[in-house]
Structure 1
């Protein structure tokens, strides 16, 4: 079985460098409005690694706080200051009760979710992170189709929508699996069980098949295809069968604008020759 392993790091670790061995990496951008001191360096490396195909996709996460709009604006501003949201980066909401109000925080968490979904161009590019307790108690009402990285040291929570499992904080849980990664040393480690890096990326709303359309959001792709269809219809007529308004050729087929222009050209040349 293929599993995709990856680290989850912040300013508590050293910045990432080319010794990092995995195809996916998760880095913190902020804790609410607190700006992670390593984000700029980590994100610059991530963008370069994605562009060079060294990595398949990346995750940028924020520890969620109730001042959701300021939280969202911090995430947007920090990413925009470092070149913008890369087309192969998903955003993750780190939902934890530590330091947050007790009880159900679904209202403000979902406000943050939809704000960042608008920023990313698709809700599929927004995933969640939580342990089982916080998932069920702090985020009781969740967006449809939400994908989740579930934290469970020593056991797999198997939460609804789970695409990966944070199996250790580097302190020895799941001892048969890596407890860290170069250059960080011991750190939070995750496994997308049974998924290749590309499959894991696809589950998080990231297309990595290549081609120029990768740079476009779903909405932009739909707009482009609509415009291509409109151009086709104008040039070839409905269903590519020409336009009856332009007349027919000797076989009785409707002419296209190109045919009509060619006929006009022939007529003009004939008039000039005469």
Structure 2
């Protein structure tokens, strides 16, 4: 199974309709959050929320710059990323692997693990073909020619574009910067696996039920669980045993909120009949 996704930023504009992206069959979105220690992508919040609303798996990325303080970059990135999975964009002007690991460690030390690393083969060659065996979630870029729909441009699961390098297999392939998606030309990526496998790569919980919480982070799922428990308690009483302050029913059990409202409705009905 192969899942397609898109890579977007302010360079693509702020008007990509992610509802349409999802309806066209795409399964994930990687969107830019920050660059260096000075740039915040204004399109991130809306694209983040729209991706989640449409059930698209999501990661936010930081364009790493060697000419900026690494700690300041990590601070800026996490300030705006929120609880989305984290990705580092490591290419032109990003420095060598020492800069890469300094940034990854700076993010991880702040409690937010880097899940994906965009490292194009050409940049790996430019910086001396370093070892990549330990990098998280390697995304390689190797573009096909032409413009069109992603599924038509995709070179296939056994294409040499998937070949690993730096003693590292490739987890995702960015195979074009000219896929026609939702009326725009954008970067398109492929993942050879299931949605749950991609979720695992992103550090998210998996689900065996289609669509089950797929747009929610672990933190949001926990929050939702507590809210559901609170609603249950309010309706049914502590442990579902009713509320003593609402009185008892004919069997001597505490009334629930629904029981109490039903009794009030019945009493009002009786009063109306008596008045008639």
Rate the CA distance shift 1:233–1:58 in 2: closer, same or farther, 3 A: same
Q: How does 1:165-176 map to 2 (within 5 A)?
A: 165-166=139-140, 168=142, 176=160
Q: Is the 2:244–2:255 Cα contact (8 Å) retained in structure 1?
A: yes
* Structure 1 position 237, deviation (Å): 1.1
Separation (CA, whole Å) in 2 of partners of 1:93 and 1:228: 35
The counterpart of 2:119, out of the listed 111, 132, 151, is 151
The alpha carbon displacement at 1:110 in A equals: 0.9
Alpha-carbon distance, 1:84 to partner? 6.1
Q: 1:166 to 1:254 in 2, by over 3 A?
A: same
TM-score (norm 1): 0.60
- 1:190 deviates by 6.7
Cα offset, 1:147, TM superposition: 1.0
Counterpart Cα distance in 2 of 1:219 and 1:85? 18
The equivalent residue for 2:138 is 164
Report the Cα distance in structure 2 between the residues aligned to 1:117 and 1:213, rounded to whole angstroms.
Answer: 20
Check if 1:55 corresponds to 2:26. Answer: yes
Query: What is the total number of aligned residue pairs between the two structures?
Result: 225
Q: Which residue of 1 aligns with 2:59?
A: 90
Residue pair 1:243, 1:256 contacting (<8 A) in 2 also: yes
Query: TM-score normalised to the size of structure 2?
Result: 0.60
In 2, the alpha carbon distance for the partners of 1:256 and 1:241 equals 7
5+ long unaligned stretches in structure 1: 5-21, 31-35
In structure 2, C-alpha distance between the alignment counterparts of 1:83 and 1:230, rounded to whole Å: 28
Deviation for aligned residue 1:92: 0.9
**How far 1:59 sits from its partner (Å)?**
0.9
Query: Secondary structure at the residue paired with 1:54?
Result: coil
1:255 maps onto 2:255 in alignment: yes
User: Secondary structure, in 3 states, of the residue corresponding to 1:232?
Assistant: helix
**For 1:246, what is the secondary structure of its paired residue?**
strand
Matched residue of 1:141: which SS? helix
Judged with a 3 Å threshold, the aligned counterparts in structure 2 of structure 1 residues 47 and 135 are, in CA distance, closer, same or farther, namely: farther
